[in-house]
């Protein structure tokens, strides 16, 4: 028989066992020769949730029977299990109930059901993220156009002779515009499902970009951040977006743990080069309640979570572990009760150190264009006007078109040295324009520069890879645009 048989009496405060068959004893972790009275499956200390015991007794008092009633009970070693109970009850002496029950350990079945439910929720979440990615892509396009316009005009004005107060204002406009652009790019990073693309990465830069995503939430939630990022770290060969995903997961977990325990806390991020192990190490520490010893060995298991139901899927650290494995690195936890937690990420290091970028000169040559004829295809009038004037100042002769169809008409009428074209436009987009323009003027194919808000994980990204066309992400700096234009013309 694969069911536990129980016969006994049950009251609000006590539970006595008259009969417990061998399977019931084994189910609760006792040898088969254990005395019946020792088992006591319905004793108060067997219930994980004391209120569940009260509800079970109330149900037996009211209905005199239960079928497949689910309870969370403890074995002899205090480990929990899910038990399904089918029982009938009769009134005994006083308030006691005489209970006859069949009991089944359904822990494995419950685990599979929970996993199936979590997978279902993951699929729903994936659909939501896909819709979010499409929405944010559109929002990014709408935001990046005015940001590009602001950057272009402020750069042009900054080159003029102005008083100190005006120059400070222009520098503020430039700085805040670039900050807004960075926020949009970071949102796009996490809204889109990207193909894994590895490159030489500055771990410190990834840390800064990721922490900037949480800056507002941390500020309003009384979370302080301390960074101790070593200078001159070797580069690592990694997918920066996946590294951000790992780091963001660790940071959010730390925030939730600290806020749940004390309503405030401190996160410390540290990096250094372990020359002996030839690795770059990133540590994320918090001063929260720590991770209990008994669960530390399971935190990377799929679907394991210590959060309340509905607050976590139990997949975040599993994904983090898998990403670190794919990168040839490792992730490890160090924690003690009430002493916080530290996650240590180790990445294989490569030769060489990060070089500081060489600052570009503030003053550009006055005649970069050298009289070259350029077609500017941009559906945003304010941005088109700003860029056209800047190109004119740089020595280009500029024609404008508001969409792909108007641009094709221009290409049929005139020979152009360079085309600067938006990818996302009404009527005829940049991709269709490129294909049609290549048929009209084959030599123009390698002289088209595209500008766009976001291409990650889209058909546009594949198009740009296949054609080898140069492109700039909006909002772009004038210096970058002019440099690319000069390179293409050369």
Q: For domain 4-105, which architecture applies?
A: 2-Layer Sandwich (3.30)
Distance CA 298, CA 284 (A): 19
Read off the pLDDT band of 134 (50, 70, 90): low
Q: 199 - beta bridge partners?
A: 238
Task: Provide the pLDDT for residue 7.
Answer: 95
The total number of residues written for the chain in this structure:
490
Residues with Cβ within 8 Å of 379's Cβ and at least 6 positions away in sequence, in order, are: 402, 403, 422, 425, 426
3-state SS assignment for residue 466: helix
Distance CA 380, CA 436 (A): 22
Distance CA 376, CA 402 (A): 8
Q: What is the mean pLDDT of residues 79-86?
A: 94
Which has the minimum average pLDDT: 300-309, 312-321, 393-402?
300-309
Q: How big is the chain by its Cα radius of gyration, in Å?
A: 33
- On the question of a common fold for 203-353 and 373-489, the answer reads no
pTM (2 d.p.): 0.49
Burial, 172: exposed, middle or buried (Cβ in 10 Å; 0-12, 13-18, 19+)? Answer: exposed
Backbone angles phi, psi at 10, to 5 degrees: -140, 130
**Tokens 């068959």 sit on residue:** 21
pLDDT surpasses 50 at 420: yes
Task: Provide the pLDDT for residue 54.
Answer: 93
Question: Cα 189 to the chain's mean position, in Å?
Answer: 8
Interaxial angle between packed helices 240-262 and 203-220, expressed in degrees from 0 to 180 and rounded to the nearest 10: 30
Q: Which CATH number fits domain 203-353: 3.30.420.10, 3.30.565.10, 3.40.50.300, 3.20.20.210?
A: 3.30.565.10
Q: What is the mean pLDDT of residues 283-290?
A: 91
Task: Provide the pLDDT for residue 302.
Answer: 65
3-state SS assignment for residue 411: helix
3-state SS assignment for residue 414: coil
Read off the pLDDT band of 358 (50, 70, 90): very low
Distance CA 228, CA 425 (A): 45
What is 373-489's CATH number? 3.40.50.2300
Distance CA 158, CA 172 (A): 11
Q: What percent of the chain has pLDDT over 70?
A: 85
Task: Provide the pLDDT for residue 490.
Answer: 79
| Average pLDDT across the chain, whole number | 84
pLDDT surpasses 60 at 1: no
Q: What is the mean pLDDT of residues 450-461?
A: 71
Domain ranges of the chain: 4-105, 203-353, 373-489
437 cis-preceded (ω within 30 degrees of 0): no
pLDDT surpasses 80 at 184: no
DSSP secondary structure of 311-336 = T--S-HHHHHHHHHHHTT-EEEEEE-
Measured between alpha carbons, how far is residue 251 from residues 112, 231, 239, 283, 439 in Å? 29, 22, 19, 11, 52
Q: What is the mean pLDDT of residues 344-361?
A: 61
Task: Provide the pLDDT for residue 129.
Answer: 54
Q: What percent of the chain has pLDDT over 90?
A: 40
């Amino acid at each position: 028989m694969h069911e536990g048989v129980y016969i006994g009496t049950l009251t609000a405060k006590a539970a006595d066992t008259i009969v417990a068959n061998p399977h019931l004893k084994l189910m609760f972790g006792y040898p088969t020769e254990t005395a019946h009275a020792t088992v006591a499956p319905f004793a108060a200390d067997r219930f994980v949730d004391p209120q569940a015991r009260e509800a079970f007794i109330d149900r037996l008092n009211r209905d005199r029977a239960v079928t497949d009633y689910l309870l969370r009970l403890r074995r002899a070693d205090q480990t929990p299990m899910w038990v399904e109970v089918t029982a009938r009850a009769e009134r005994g002496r006083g308030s006691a109930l005489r209970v006859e029950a069949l009991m089944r350990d359904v822990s494995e079945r419950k685990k599979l059901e929970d996993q199936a439910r979590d997978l279902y929720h993951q699929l729903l979440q994936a659909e939501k993220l896909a819709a979010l990615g499409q929405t944010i892509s559109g929002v990014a396009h709408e935001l990046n156009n005015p940001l590009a316009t602001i950057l272009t005009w402020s750069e042009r004005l900054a080159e003029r002779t102005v008083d100190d107060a005006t120059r400070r204002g222009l520098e503020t406009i430039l700085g805040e515009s670039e900050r807004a652009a960075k926020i949009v790019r970071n949102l796009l990073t996490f809204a889109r499902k990207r193909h894994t693309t590895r490159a030489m990465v500055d771990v410190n830069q990834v840390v800064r970009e990721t922490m900037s995503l949480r800056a507002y939430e941390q500020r309003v939630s009384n979370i302080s951040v301390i960074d101790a990022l070593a200078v001159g770290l070797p580069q690592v060969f990694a997918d920066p977006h996946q590294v951000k995903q790992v780091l963001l997961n660790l940071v959010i977990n730390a925030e939730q743990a600290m806020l749940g325990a004390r309503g405030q806390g401190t996160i410390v991020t540290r990096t250094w080069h372990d020359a002996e192990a030839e690795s770059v190490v990133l540590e994320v520490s918090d001063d929260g309640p720590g991770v209990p010893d008994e669960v530390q060995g399971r935190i990377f298991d799929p679907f394991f979570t210590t959060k309340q139901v509905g607050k976590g899927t139990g997949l975040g650290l599993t994904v983090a572990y898998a990403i670190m494995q794919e990168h040839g690195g490792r992730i490890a936890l160090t924690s003690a009760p009430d002493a916080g937690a530290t996650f240590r990420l180790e990445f294989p290091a490569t030769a060489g150190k990060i070089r500081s970028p060489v600052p570009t000169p503030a003053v550009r040559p006055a005649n970069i264009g050298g009289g070259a004829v350029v077609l500017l295809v941009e559906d945003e009038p304010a941005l088109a006007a700003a860029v056209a004037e800047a190109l004119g100042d740089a020595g280009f002769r500029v024609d404008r078109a508001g969409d792909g169809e108007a641009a094709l008409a221009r290409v049929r009428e005139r020979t152009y040295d360079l085309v600067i074209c938006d990818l996302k436009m009404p009527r005829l987009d940049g991709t269709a324009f490129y294909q049609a323009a290549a048929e009209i003027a084959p030599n123009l194919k390698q002289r088209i520069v595209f500008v766009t808000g976001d291409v990650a994980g889209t058909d546009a990204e594949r198009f740009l890879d296949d054609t080898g066309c140069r492109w700039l992400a909006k909002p772009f700096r004038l210096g970058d645009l002019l440099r690319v234009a000069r390179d293409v013309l050369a």
